[in-house]
Amino acid sequence: MMNRELVLLDGTPPPLDFAACGVEPAATNPYDALLARLRREHVPFSAMLELTHLCNLDCIMCYNVARAEPELSTAQWLEVLEQLAAAGTLRLTLSGGEILARRDFFTIAERAQALGFALDLKTNGTLLTAESADRMAALAPRQVDISLLGATDATFDAIAGSRRTLERVLRGVRLLQARGVRVKLNTLLLDLNLTEREAMLDLACGLGVEYEQVVKVSAADDGSDRAGRHQLSRQQMSALFQADQTPFYGRQRDDACRTCQVGLSSCLISPYGEVYPCNELRISAGNIRHQPFDQIWADAPILRELRERHTFAQLPECRVCPINAYCEGRCAGLAWKAHGDLYGPDPVACRQAQARFEQQNPGQKAPQTPLQARRGADAPRNRVFVSQTEVMAP
């Protein structure tokens, strides 16, 4: 049985989480030393492969948008694996869409295993059968991530746009557990499932799996935002943080810090061959249909810029934000999606920081962030994504 106090909200880091702020610690163990060196040398040690945007569910918070063009073929994905191995990639996350919606999923995954990658898998779990669970277990994944979006079928179905979703997900979880696979459940908290938060926690505890609840909703890749209106309000976040037992450690940042490691040592490849800095920041670095991965990784302007410039010193509003010590997870991708500015504030992080401030300073109202202060005069623009070309909405 899992200790309920182990549940984290958005993976709150321990004090002085150097990995999160981009400052390299003095290596305390060989693994940390290796990671620090890979980041310093910009080795793409971790990659997420979105094998497909096909999916049997229709979750309202899904940010994938299928294009009217073919996805990479089996042979092209196998070639991507070879190129990543040659580039020094060690960790692969295979994701979708739904990975099992691709008939050749196991062909690709088994080749990845044979090449020696450490594998993480993301699936919705509903398509698992005894046979596919056997094959998944044989991949020896480090972890399989599955979403838990409600503690009742009614809630889960409303969010996932499907029928008997909870029942099918739990069946999938148990099939994997029975084969010794480590499963982690993840919940995106929305106003639709907030009342079932405790029940979901009990469910995860009962299953004995790792469990995490997060609060950030991101817009889809075409700029649409079906789940945005279900994002928790600041009041709901405040109440959540009050109830949550997870310790919080605020921190001041210096100019050399990074709010995340985007661009340094990981990337995402889409089903259409686009290489992106990460799953939120979908500014194309290039397409592996037209250019070898190592060239894209070394030369893409967006990756070079992130490596050289994406530090706290370049975030003008975050630097002067009165509650930046309470900000735990400014995301460059969400900032870019919100107002087309990589270096701007992330509106969801702003709301979250205010909720944290109020949790840590009972009875005090959180100050406005710079974004909130200027919003009336400078309303955020909506970004529209058209294939590889980005255009700003008028």
120 binds ligand SF4 (CB under 6 A): no
Strand segments (E) across the chain = 8-9, 46-50, 91-95, 118-122, 143-147, 183-188, 210-214, 266-269, 274-276, 286-287, 383-386, 389-392
State how far the alpha carbon of 80 is from the alpha carbons of 70, 262, 278, in Å: 16, 21, 17
What is the smallest separation between the CB atom of 325 and ligand SF4, expressed in angstroms?
9
220 part of the interface to ligand SF4, by CB under 6 A: no
Contacts of 26 (CB under 8 A, 6+ apart): none
CB of 291 to ligand SF4, least distance (A): 22
With CA atoms as reference, report the closest residue to 343 among 258, 221, 230.
258
The pair of three-digit structure tokens given for residue 137, joined into one six-digit string: 């277990």
Integer Cα distance of 123 and 102 in angstroms:
12
Specify the residue, 195 or 235, whose C-beta has the smaller distance to ligand SF4: 235
Cβ-based nearer residue to ligand SF4, 39 or 168: 39
Tell me how far, at minimum, the Cβ of 142 lies from ligand SF4, in Å: 19
DSSP-derived 3-state class of residue 265: coil
List the interface residues with ligand SF4, window 251-270 (CB under 6 A): 260, 262
Residues 270-329 that bind ligand SF4 (CB under 6 A): 278-281, 317-318, 321, 323-324, 327
Applying CB under 6 A, the site for ligand SF4 has a residue count of 24
Q: How far is the CB of 332 from ligand SF4 (least distance, A)?
A: 4
Query: What angle is formed at CA 92 by the lines to CA 88 and CA 97, rounded to 5 degrees?
Result: 140
In terms of CB distance, is 175 or 262 closer to ligand SF4? 262
Q: Does 333 bind ligand SF4 (CB under 6 A)?
A: yes
Using the rule CB under 6 A, which residue among 159, 349, 355, 366 binds ligand SF4?
349
Kindly state the tokens that stand for 265.
Answer: 């040592």
Binding site for ligand SF4 (CB under 6 A): 260, 262, 278-281, 317-318, 321, 323-324, 327, 330-333, 345-346, 349-350, 353, 369-371
